[in-house]
Structures are given as C-alpha cells and as structure tokens.
Amino acid sequence: MSWNIQHLQGDPLAVHRVVRAADPDVLCLQEGPRLPGSPRQLAQLARACGLHYEAGGRRAGNNAIFVSGRMVAVDLAAFTFPLASWRDNRRGAVLATVRPVIGGPPLRIASVHLPLDPAQRLAHVRTLVRQLGDFGLPPVLAGDLNEPPGGASWEALEPLVADPAPGAPVTFSTASPRRRIDAILTGPGIEVLEYGAWQPSAADARLASDHLPVVAELRVLSSGLS
C-alpha cells in the first residue's frame, strides 16, 4: 500500500480505518507528520494502524515505511535530496529490504514523494534508480510522483521499474479525482497479482487525505536480478 496522508491534516481516525481495512504487509507513506517529534508520531500512527514503524520521518523528507507482523524489514536507509533553493520543500526517500517472516525471497522497496519542479523530479529519479538498484533485489518504488503516466520521470524510472497497471484508477484529488499521480511501480522478479482493485471507503478517504491510496498484491518470483 502507498499513500500520501497530507501530513495528517485530515482526520487521523479515518487514516487508521483506511489502513486497517486494507491490512497491508507493507505501507509506504508520503507526507507523514513533519513536526520535530515525527519518529514518535510515526510510531504512534503505525500502532494505531496495526503496523510497525521501520524508518522515515523528517530525515526522509516525511516519507516512511511501516510493515505488518507478517514481514521483516532490514537494511533500512533514509535520506533527503539536495535542495535547489531554500524556498523548496524538503524531499527525500526511505528504502528497505522486506521479506515474509515465514521465509521467502526479499524485495527492495522505496517510498518517495517527488517534487513539483520537472527538472528536480528527474534529478531525484536518477538518484533513486541508483539507490534502489544497488542491492540487486527485485525492486518496487511506491509513492507520489507528482506527474501522470507517460511523464519524463516515469520514463526515466523504466530501466529499473515500470507501471504494471496502465489502466489503474486516478488518485488525486479525493474531492475531484482526475489525475493518476500516485503509483506502485515494479521491476523484474515481481509478479503483480492485483492492482487498484481494492478501494477504501469513499467517506473515509475524503476525511483522511487529498490523495487516494494505492494497493497492489505482489509476488516475489526471484531473490535477485540477472
């Protein structure tokens, strides 16, 4: 599951209900709490959603990764991208290697929120491609890409991950859904069993955030890239 929760400016109880209803193994958050105590807030949010907080917060540009008790997360990395100007919003990413507790091949996943500026988006994507590909594991990138499919950033990601569901539902905004700017992109070694079929309560989605969540069911077919 990937979701931009708008810095919890909406109804946090609606956020909890949506996540618990989806019951994800892995939750990639964007626009998490941005106060100085964000790790503590993220841990509290994870518990309220029935999950475990692994990494993220301000040092990851307010992205985060949560996992369920069915999963193990290791090799965590959180970082921010360089700012082009002091006026820019801080952007970053958080990465983790996740696998089932009961055993099975791992995957490498990134949660990211790309910037509004096209040139900055491309620069951040190039960094992400290197970071996500370094482990040689089947890759998944989940996040708010801030542009629709076919954009330059989507194309720049294609050497590593691509859109598994070109006809997936739009994600922004909850008040007037018109654009698909949130996605879960997958690379070699990942089979997509289902994408976009699960949808939250419309009332809770509007109360929780201005973005709709994206949910995909994935199967890891191999433990490494050739």
For the chain, 226 residues long, give each residue's pLDDT as a single digit of tens: 999 999 999 999 999 999 999 999 999 999 998 775 578 899 999 999 999 999 999 889 999 999 999 999 999 999 988 766 656 677 899 999 999 999 899 999 999 999 999 999 999 999 999 889 888 999 999 999 999 999 999 999 999 999 999 999 999 999 999 999 999 999 999 999 999 999 999 999 999 999 999 999 999 997 665 4
Domain presence at residue 118 = yes
Domain presence at residue 226 = no
Domain presence at residue 75 = yes
Domain presence at residue 68 = yes
Task: Provide the residue range defining the domain that includes 171.
Answer: 2-219
Domain presence at residue 224 = no
Q: How many domains does the chain have?
A: 1
Domain presence at residue 225 = no
Beta bridge partners of 143: 112, 183
Q: Which CATH number goes with the domain that contains 117?
A: 3.60.10.10
What sections of 49-179 are H helices per DSSP? 118-133, 152-157
Beta strands in 12-70 (DSSP E): 26-30, 52-57, 63-67
Domain presence at residue 105 = yes
Residue 170 DSSP one-character state: P
For 80, other C-beta atoms within 10 Å of its C-beta total 15
Domain presence at residue 54 = yes
